[in-house]
Amino acid sequence: MASSKPHPHLLDQVLVEDNSFSKTLILNRPKQLNALSHQMVSRLLELFLAYEKDPNVKLLLLKGSGRAFCAGGDVAAVVRDIREAHWKSGADFFCKEFTLNYIMATYTKPQVSILDGIVMGGGAGASMHGRFRVATENSVFAMPETALGLFPDVGASYYLSRLPGFFGEYVGLTGARLDGAEMLLCGLATHLVPSAKLPLLEEALVNLDSSDPARISAIIDEYSERPYLKGKSAYHRLDVIDKCFSLRTVEAILSALEKEAVNITEDWFSAAIQSLKKASPTSLKISLKSIREGRLQGVGQCLVREYRMVCHVMQGKLSKDFFEGCRAILLDKDKNPKWEPSQLDLISDAVVEEYFSKVDDEEWEELKLPARFNLPGHAIAKL
């Protein structure tokens, strides 16, 4: 990929508002639903590191322009770069993105993300690791990677594995969409604020001369509302989700869901089954193992492991499903990917294990996360 120093016109992809005691960063590619380009990730990382050292900056607000917070990483651009250059150009993007995720997860100042719209994939990575995550009635959260031949990355194996019961496995494997109330109740969001009140909330936050999380939370609480869980929400059926998604293999999960389908006619349930059947079988298997491993690992360990996995995906030796998924979903848009292997039972445990091993390339290196010092208690707990 190009040099990490952004071209001047690309600075417009991340706008900065200077406030008295804070900075507001605005993801600004509204036509692309603020999908993260390599330049945006580089710029965000540069800004986060600079503001952490600036004693005049007490907190950071992060939001998106238009109807999305951020629809994910710009994977179509990643695929294009790989085809024009080398798989390592794709790995470079994820190296920078995962480093940004780690800085956010261990940030010494509060990050308030305003999630008023679409929050998917890389957009979740840019917000879920921060201290405060404000959902609205417009929020739509999803990790749709298995439909693309990828897996929930950006540290998702850390935060999905810490959702109630096995809800994270459900969300990560099926790519299910959650609304603001569901995000709050499962813990992906810390607050639920009506979008009409966001200007008042932002004004109150930018005028706060404090990094005290308790004071920030109290201000957001003033504008928050109680969640209303829709009757058709999957969150009403955590018992069934836990019963099925706690099973050891993807095959067992799918079989259990199909048995339950005799008694459950709700839309979310049939959608979950269909999503699993349409997704890349390889992606499903590595995703389940990744989330399970994430339950026992800190956020840094999760990102290092996910970087190994994503490098194997970019290299394309074990499977080319990612390139086929991007072709079918993002480029040709025929929505009919031809996965190889095409069935779950054709993928051995040995092949799955290879995704978690070091990459066989003499120039390849593990993800080296920056050393972090003087961290607050909530950040230390993630390690």
Residues tagged active-site: 73, 122, 145, 153
Contacts of 6 (CB under 8 A, 6+ apart): 13, 39, 42, 43
Q: Say which DSSP state 327 is in.
A: I
Question: Distance between CA atoms of 369 and 124, rounded to whole angstroms?
Answer: 19
Q: Are 220 and 191 in contact (CB under 8 A)?
A: yes
In the Cβ-directed half-sphere of 107, how many Cα atoms lie within 13 Å? 32
Q: Give the Å distances, CA to CA, from 329 to 71, 144, 306, 334.
A: 14, 11, 23, 7
Q: Say which DSSP state 241 is in.
A: H
Q: Say which DSSP state 7 is in.
A: P
Q: Say which DSSP state 134 is in.
A: E
Question: Distance between CA atoms of 330 and 35, rounded to whole angstroms?
Answer: 13
Q: Say which DSSP state 371 is in.
A: P
- Tokens 């995703």 belong to 287
Length of the chain: 383
Q: Are 154 and 101 in contact (CB under 8 A)?
A: yes
Nearest to 217 by CA among 193, 183, 196, 197: 193
Question: Distance between CA atoms of 343 and 331, rounded to whole angstroms?
Answer: 24
